[in-house]
């Protein structure tokens, strides 16, 4: 776009490269954290070595292994999870015309959670567990959409209600599964998996996450202008000429892909998808073409910091879902009060 | 040009519009009056294609731009963001606004005299300003016909005048056909070339303001006695509800 089309202030135009730089620094810093002490400079050199190999490396083989095989996959997973949750939360808030929505609302989180629980209960591990969790997540969204559709049209209210119903159903199913589980081995496994952790992530997981998150976020970003229009309401969107049902389906499927993939790898991590879009809107306004990328990057930085906290605060790792809730709830309460004092969520 | 003959619209099993006919020529102004719940919004939704007619003939010669009733949006969009949404028919499913879209929107913001609002937050504007932004959004679709659902509802007299003046100028100077609903007969007196009274599901009356807007027609329409007075200077009529009268008096 030429300069005449957008007179965005310098601060706003500089924000995106600034955030990208910050993300890169946070990634490098996050790799240094752990029992084996490393400096940001060492990490940068070790990683740069992959692009342009050095003749006389200044680091040990052990350091290289720690950086590239132990810590980097986990860090990349955190980036993908934070990015995916924030983008899908932002897209759903637009679709639902409601800034208080997160990916949990369409039933995908509880559905995928039940899929994973069922797999653990049946003694299934590894990629089969991921596949089952993923399929249940996608399946529950399709179920929600069909439940909410009357004569080919879906009202947002019925979509929310169907999401609540399906989520409640799968939550109950998770409880039953826990009740049936062997309390010494399977119950702890289910509980820890649901609470969310990326402690033992390897490159295979990162690849699966990337497959679930990247194409879907690209699809959401391509639909950025349509999301703006849908956020006015279905009737108005239809009158303006948007293919409402098609866009609703595409966004639901894309966000379900992201959420189901994330739950499958890392368990249920709440509050990121709800809070990050608000932070992004405060910086760049509501237009989804600016808000979604910024929300994604802020989400990635945020989840990296949360994961750093998770593995440093105590000797035992704290599940990510607990920390995101502990931070997310007060932040959300502040946002809610601010919106309320300004006379509704329209002026956030 | 719009021509509607014997239009029937149903929602489920219920007939909302039952045999409505009217016509407006290009650059005409059709004002639709009727009590709440009589199907005015349903008629507009059928004209813009959101609802399908059950039966009847509807010919609409031109592209339609629609202005819904005043509303707040869920997010803090700028005026430019809102107005750009009118361009959606010119932008592909996966596209986003380009230089030409911004230029078209700026042209219509300037035409309506609100270019200075471009970077303001839509929800923080006054009702009158928001109405102008919504008109800019509809015009930005480069339409020939502008359909508005109660564009003057919830506006004070000054803002009603601003909106009416803009609609008059769009029709007279830019050849745009205007269709809008209102509860104020005076709006029809000011700019209508055609008036449609929607009385109940089965009684529709259309014609010029002079022929249709009689005391008896309006009293029957609103089920409240309506008085009419004529200004000595302009010769224009004005209407007022006479709430203190107990019964509706029908003129022969």
| Token pair listed for A109 | 């989180």
Domains of chain A in sequence order: 75-347 (1.10.3470.10)
Residue B2's SS3 state is strand
Is residue A149 within a helix (H) or strand (E), and if so which, with residue range?
A: strand A149-150
Percent over 90 (pLDDT), chain B? 71
Can you give the pLDDT at residue A253? 92
**DSSP readout, B94-145?**
T----HHHHHHHHHHHHHTT-GGGTTSBGGGS-HHHHHHHHHHHHHTT--SE
Among partner residues B50, B75, B81, which is closest to A239 by beta-carbon distance? B50
**Per-residue pLDDT averaged across A93-110, rounded?**
88
**What is the reported pTM?**
0.90
State the pLDDT confidence band at B121, using cuts at 50, 70 and 90: very high
pLDDT at residue B235 greater than cutoff 50: yes
Residue with tokens 């945020």: A302
Can you give the pLDDT at residue B247? 58
Among partner residues B76, B95, B102, which is closest to A285 by beta-carbon distance? B76
Residues in chain A: 348
pLDDT at residue A6 greater than cutoff 50: no
Contact residues for A348 (Cβ-Cβ < 8 A; gap 6+): A99, A278, A281, A282, A335, A338, A339, A342, B75, B76
Largest CA distance in chain B: 61
Sign of the C-alpha dihedral computed for residues B61, B133, A295 and A335 taken in this order: negative
State the pLDDT confidence band at B88, using cuts at 50, 70 and 90: very high
d(CA A107, CA A102) in angstroms, rounded, equals: 10
Can you give the pLDDT at residue B190? 92
Can you give the pLDDT at residue A342? 60
Please write the tens of the pLDDT for every residue from A198-229. 888 889 999 999 999 999 999 999 999 999 99
Contact residues for A107 (Cβ-Cβ < 8 A; gap 6+): A140, A141, A143, A144, A162, A163, A166, A167, A170
Output DSSP code: residue B3.
E
State the pLDDT confidence band at A1, using cuts at 50, 70 and 90: very low
Can you give the pLDDT at residue A313? 86
Can you give the pLDDT at residue B147? 97
Chain A positions touching B95 (Cβ under 8 A) are 225
pLDDT at residue B40 greater than cutoff 90: yes
Among partner residues A224, A226, A231, which is closest to B75 by beta-carbon distance? A231
Residue A233's SS3 state is coil
To test the contact with chain A by mutation, choose from B74, B90, B120, B125 the residue with the greatest count of A C-beta atoms within 10 A, namely: B74
Mean confidence (pLDDT) of chain A: 89
Does B121 contact A347 at a Cβ distance shorter than 8 Å?
Answer: yes
Can you give the pLDDT at residue A103? 85
Alpha-carbon distances of A116 from A109, A166, A173, A261, A264, rounded to whole Å: 11, 16, 12, 11, 7
Least confident of A53-62, A284-293, B212-221: A53-62
Mean confidence (pLDDT) of chain B: 91
- Residue in A closest to B101 by C-alpha: A5
Report the candidate in A331, A288, A319, A272 with the shortest Cα–Cα distance to residue A80. A272
Contact residues for A65 (Cβ-Cβ < 8 A; gap 6+): none
Can you give the pLDDT at residue B154? 85
**Per-residue pLDDT averaged across B54-68, rounded?**
94
Chain A positions touching B124 (Cβ under 8 A) are 347
d(CA A248, CA A156) in angstroms, rounded, equals: 10
- How far, in whole angstroms, is CA A45 from its chain's centroid? 30
Does B81 contact A228 at a Cβ distance shorter than 8 Å?
Answer: yes
- Residue in B closest to A342 by C-alpha: B124
pLDDT at residue B42 greater than cutoff 60: yes
**DSSP readout, A50-90?**
HHS--SS-SS-HHHHHIIIIIIHHHHHHHHHHHHHHHHHHH
Alpha-carbon distances of B6 from A80, B3, B22, B246, rounded to whole Å: 58, 10, 9, 35
Please write the tens of the pLDDT for every residue from B107-117. 999 999 999 99
State the pLDDT confidence band at A243, using cuts at 50, 70 and 90: very high
Please write the tens of the pLDDT for every residue from B157-210. 999 999 999 999 999 999 999 999 999 999 999 999 999 999 875 689 999 988
Please write the tens of the pLDDT for every residue from A17-36. 999 999 999 999 999 998 88
Does A4 contact B66 at a Cβ distance shorter than 8 Å?
Answer: no
pLDDT at residue A343 greater than cutoff 60: no
d(CA B96, CA A268) in angstroms, rounded, equals: 33
**Per-residue pLDDT averaged across B113-128, rounded?**
94
Chain A positions touching B88 (Cβ under 8 A) are 225-226, 229, 240-242
To test the contact with chain B by mutation, choose from A155, A225, A226, A229 the residue with the greatest count of B C-beta atoms within 10 A, namely: A225
Angle, CA of A241, B29 and B8, to the nearest 5°: 60
Does B78 contact A222 at a Cβ distance shorter than 8 Å?
Answer: no
Does B73 contact A281 at a Cβ distance shorter than 8 Å?
Answer: no
d(CA B167, CA B161) in angstroms, rounded, equals: 10
**Per-residue pLDDT averaged across A274-301, rounded?**
94
Does B93 contact A345 at a Cβ distance shorter than 8 Å?
Answer: no
Can you give the pLDDT at residue A315? 81
Shortest Cα distance from A319 to chain B (angstroms)?
A: 33
pLDDT at residue B5 greater than cutoff 80: yes
**Per-residue pLDDT averaged across B19-44, rounded?**
93
Please write the tens of the pLDDT for every residue from A156-187. 888 889 999 999 999 999 999 999 998 998 99
Pick from A36-40, A136-140, B71-75 the range whose average pLDDT is largest: A136-140
Region for residue B235 given its phi and psi (left: phi exceeds 0; alpha: psi -120 to 50; beta: otherwise): left
Can you give the pLDDT at residue A346? 44
Task: Enter the ipTM.
Answer: 0.89
Percent over 90 (pLDDT), chain A? 57
């Amino acid at each position: 776009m030429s300069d005449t089309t957008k007179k965005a202030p310098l601060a706003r135009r500089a924000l995106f490269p600034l955030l990208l730089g910050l993300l890169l620094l946070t990634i490098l810093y996050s790799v240094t954290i752990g029992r084996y002490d490393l400096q940001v400079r060492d990490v940068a050199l070790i990683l740069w070595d992959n692009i342009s190999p050095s003749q006389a490396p200044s680091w040990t083989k052990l350091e290289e292994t720690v950086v590239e095989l132990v810590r980097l996959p986990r860090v990349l997973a955190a980036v993908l999870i934070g990015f995916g949750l924030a983008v899908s939360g932002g897209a759903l808030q637009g679709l639902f015309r409601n800034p208080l929505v997160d990916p949990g609302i369409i039933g995908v989180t509880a559905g995928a959670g039940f899929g994973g629980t069922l797999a653990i209960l049946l003694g299934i591990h590894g990629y089969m567990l991921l596949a089952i969790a993923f399929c249940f997540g996608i399946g529950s969204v399709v179920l929600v959409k069909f439940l909410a559709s009357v004569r080919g049209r879906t009202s947002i209210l019925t979509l929310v209600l169907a999401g609540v119903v399906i989520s409640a159903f799968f939550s109950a199913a998770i409880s039953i599964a826990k009740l049936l589980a062997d309390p010494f081995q399977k119950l702890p496994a289910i509980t820890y998996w649901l609470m969310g952790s990326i402690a033992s992530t390897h490159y295979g997981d990162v690849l699966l996450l990337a497959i679930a998150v990247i194409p879907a976020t690209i699809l959401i970003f391509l639909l950025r202008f349509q999301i703006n229009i849908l956020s006015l309401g279905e009737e108005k969107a239809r009158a303006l000429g948007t293919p409402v049902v098609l866009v609703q389906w595409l966004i639901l499927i894309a966000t379900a892909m992201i959420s189901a993939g994330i739950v499958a790898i890392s368990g249920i991590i709440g509050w990121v998808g709800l809070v990050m879009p608000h932070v992004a809107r405060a910086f760049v306004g509501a237009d989804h073409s600016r808000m979604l990328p910024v929300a994604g990057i802020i989400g990635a930085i945020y989840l990296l910091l949360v994961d750093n906290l998770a593995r440093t605060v105590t000797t035992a790792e704290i599940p990510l879902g607990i920390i995101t809730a502990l931070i997310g709830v007060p932040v959300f309460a502040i946002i809610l009060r601010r919106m309320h004092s300004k006379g509704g969520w329209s002026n956030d | 040009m719009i021509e509607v003959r014997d239009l029937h619209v149903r929602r489920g099993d219920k007939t909302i519009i039952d045999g409505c006919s009217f016509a407006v020529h290009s650059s005409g102004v059709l004002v639709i009056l009727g009590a709440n719940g009589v199907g005015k919004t349903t008629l507009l939704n059928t004209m813009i294609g959101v609802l399908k007619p059950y039966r009847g003939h509807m010919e609409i010669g031109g592209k339609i731009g629609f202005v819904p009733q005043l509303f707040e949006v869920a997010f803090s969009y700028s005026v430019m963001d809102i107005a750009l949404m009118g361009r959606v028919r010119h932008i592909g499913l996966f596209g986003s606004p380009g230089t030409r879209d911004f230029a078209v929107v700026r042209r219509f913001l300037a035409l309506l005299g609100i270019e200075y609002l471009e970077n303001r937050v839509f929800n923080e504007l006054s009702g009158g300003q928001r109405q102008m932004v919504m008109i800019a959004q509809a015009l930005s679709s480069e339409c020939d016909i502008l359909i508005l659902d109660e564009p003057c509802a919830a506006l004070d007299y000054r803002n009603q005048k601003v909106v009416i003046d803009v609609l008059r100028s769009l029709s007279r100077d830019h050849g745009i056909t205007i269709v809008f609903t209102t509860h104020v007969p005076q709006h029809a007196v000011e700019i209508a070339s055609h008036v449609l009274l929607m009385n109940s599901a089965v009684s529709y009356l259309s014609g010029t303001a002079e022929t249709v807007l009689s005391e008896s027609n309006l009293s029957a329409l609103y089920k409240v006695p309506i008085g009419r007075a004529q200004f000595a200077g302009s010769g224009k009529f004005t209407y007022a509800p006479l709430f203190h009268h107990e019964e509706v008096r029908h003129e022969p």
